[in-house]
Structure 1
């Protein structure tokens, strides 16, 4: 008996070991269930943080520690650019508005250790003069001059920067000045924060800002994409402003090995604390991407790492029309209608639904209809009258394998679903006849059920 029990225990132990090793193997070999933007494929992006975003939808196509708070250096100026553009488009100022130069601006602008064009206190510059110096040459004095013009003081402008960042959903963004210099660099002119403080932003927050710039004020790219321009305002000898964005095609490969087809923005940044940073954007065949890399080791690295992201985005993804305008969702061509001349109404998407999809994954997504329940009665019907073009819900895309994309604004792309025809309310006579018909039908149905019960 002892021999039999020993054999039985050995067999049980062998089965247990086999199950154990098979389970471990399955865990090792099974794919990780991660969202499509959690790239563990490693592009080997050599930066402290990085992000790749589709500029049309806000889809995040690549993400490396994009929520880590880091000093952005001169990428700070993107918020100054955004607020300047906003002030121009709202009519608060114009490109020709004159700007006086304060002692603060004058002192900073004379320091050529920083990126600057020297400004005069006895000369009035136009907003365009200063904006071009800021966007092309990253001129710090010019940036502060714009901040003072729009905010009344840089301190007030910083309040506006932080308020706008919150409105745009730039989580935890911390602005203490308009230029991106540290308070240590600004010295006695630092008006917000402690003596060793600097601006702090995440790559995701910067990508949100870039997304709003290219979509709200695309004319900003016309200036940001200028490779070289002469600064002539208030100087005897024009100053050659060479754009710090070496990826611009306007330079030509003979000047910079980093040039990249389609790049037209947006902003570089560098301090000893921040390292080398770059927010880039490029468009090819109508498809625009946004990149952010923070904390690379050299000027060339920030462009090399950006190239990796852009190559990945343009080569591995395609901007696809998943649903055409006027297309219906399978199984949901109509909605039932009550108290109308018709008992149903046709529905379809108001606009086309487009997404950046990884090549080969086009069939991995299905449209999902989300009806506006406030438009329906307790029976799930629309009540007449129903207008043509009335919004009744929206459509999103759902991944069949659970690996969807995340978005800068935290929400999926939504396309409104509307009625494609109108349904008038039926008059009292028709409603009465219907009620009578339903009553008679109910009587006959009850009678039929009763007769069936007899047999």
Structure 2
């Protein structure tokens, strides 16, 4: 009889535990905004705090520039570039001006630009021409820089990442075909971001800038609306990179220090709400961090 009661209580306990775990999982998935892939990494411990579809390769748009930042900062660190190195725009970079919908600094053929100017523009307003210019400075050509990007991805042991360009524009947008969209999983993007911040923590001095002034005196605002001073500001957040293309949808890699620990969030293909493709990714980032990192 005692044995029967023990087994009954054990089964009841297991039922309660499974039920509570299922309820927890349901609570995890009950988001106000959906996304194709999600990831939250504790950068202090390396622990994956939350993930959804985090190993699937997906187009990542301008989150590509996290890898571009890493390689450019490597070049500055090893002395092959300096912040004052001067760049004279190539025809390929100037040609990007024709793409009206692509974020860009708008470089002129008869002007010169420093690495510092280009890095700020690439980081703050996600300037695609600045990213391409930096790639040419580092490697001599876009093709050679892309080879370095993919080599670095292999060095990081990323299994779901392939780069075709240094900025993240869709291949079809550039006339190269849909089979040449930059791809990565949410997990891989989080790893790149983690390596970037740990090796080059000074990148955060750029990513947290709410704006900068162009040569013409125009204030150019950061695409990250969660930064302090921006209209959706979130205390503690200091980066990292937004993204959007038709193939990728709205994306965002966020980072900040919460409860004394740095976290990295990655969202790919965030749902647009009533035609708004920018704000939902920031709402979801806030919800993800507040639910699991605070």
Q: TM-score, normalised by structure 2?
A: 0.88
1:217 correspondence with 2:203: no
1:277 correspondence with 2:263: no
Q: Is the 8 A contact 1:50 1:292 kept in 2?
A: yes
The one of 30, 33, 36 equivalent to 1:44 is: 30
More strand, by proportion: 1
Q: 1:31-430 counterparts in 2 under 5 A?
A: 31=18, 41-45=27-31, 46-187=34-175, 190=176, 194=177, 196-232=179-215, 237-251=216-230, 256=231, 258-284=232-258, 286-297=260-271, 298-315=277-294
- Distance, in Å, in 2 between the alignment partners of 1:98 and 1:202 is 35
> Secondary structure of 1:149's partner?
helix
**What are the superposed Cα offsets for residues 290-320 of structure 1, whole Å, 9 maximum, x if unpaired?**
10011112311101110012112332xxxxx
Q: Determine which structure has greater relative contact order: mean sequence separation of CA pairs < 8 Å that are 6+ residues apart, divided by chain length.
A: 2
Q: 1:10-21 counterparts in 2 under 5 A?
A: none
- In the TM superposition, what is the alpha-carbon distance from 1:44 to its structure 2 partner? 2.6
- Distance, in Å, in 1 between the alignment partners of 2:19 and 2:84 is 56
- In the TM superposition, what is the alpha-carbon distance from 1:169 to its structure 2 partner? 2.1
**What are the superposed Cα offsets for residues 106-151 of structure 1, whole Å, 9 maximum, x if unpaired?**
0113433111111011222110111100000000011101111111
- Distance, in Å, in 2 between the alignment partners of 1:304 and 1:77 is 22
> Secondary structure of 2:59's partner?
coil
> Secondary structure of 2:146's partner?
helix
- Count residues with an aligned counterpart: 282
Partner of 2:274: none
- In the TM superposition, what is the alpha-carbon distance from 1:62 to its structure 2 partner? 0.8
Q: Is the 8 A contact 2:265 2:285 kept in 1?
A: yes
- CA 1:195–1:279 in structure 2 vs 1: closer, same or farther (change >3 Å)? closer
- In the TM superposition, what is the alpha-carbon distance from 1:287 to its structure 2 partner? 1.7
Q: TM-score, normalised by structure 1?
A: 0.58
- Distance, in Å, in 1 between the alignment partners of 2:65 and 2:141 is 16
- Distance, in Å, in 1 between the alignment partners of 2:124 and 2:179 is 28
The worse-fitting range, judged by mean Cα deviation, of 23-32 and 67-76 is: 23-32
Q: Is the 8 A contact 2:55 2:160 kept in 1?
A: no
- In the TM superposition, what is the alpha-carbon distance from 1:259 to its structure 2 partner? 1.1
In structure 1, stretches of 5+ residues that fail to align are 1-20, 316-455
**What are the superposed Cα offsets for residues 250-286 of structure 1, whole Å, 9 maximum, x if unpaired?**
22xxxx2x21001110000011211111000011453
> Secondary structure of 2:93's partner?
helix
**What are the superposed Cα offsets for residues 27-75 of structure 1, whole Å, 9 maximum, x if unpaired?**
64343899xxx96641534211111111122111111111011100110
- Distance, in Å, in 1 between the alignment partners of 2:191 and 2:265 is 11
- Distance, in Å, in 2 between the alignment partners of 1:112 and 1:268 is 19
Q: Is the 8 A contact 1:109 1:142 kept in 2?
A: no
**What are the superposed Cα offsets for residues 156-211 of structure 1, whole Å, 9 maximum, x if unpaired?**
11110011011112222110111100111112xx5xxx454201100000000110
- Distance, in Å, in 1 between the alignment partners of 2:30 and 2:248 is 20
Rg: which structure is higher?
1
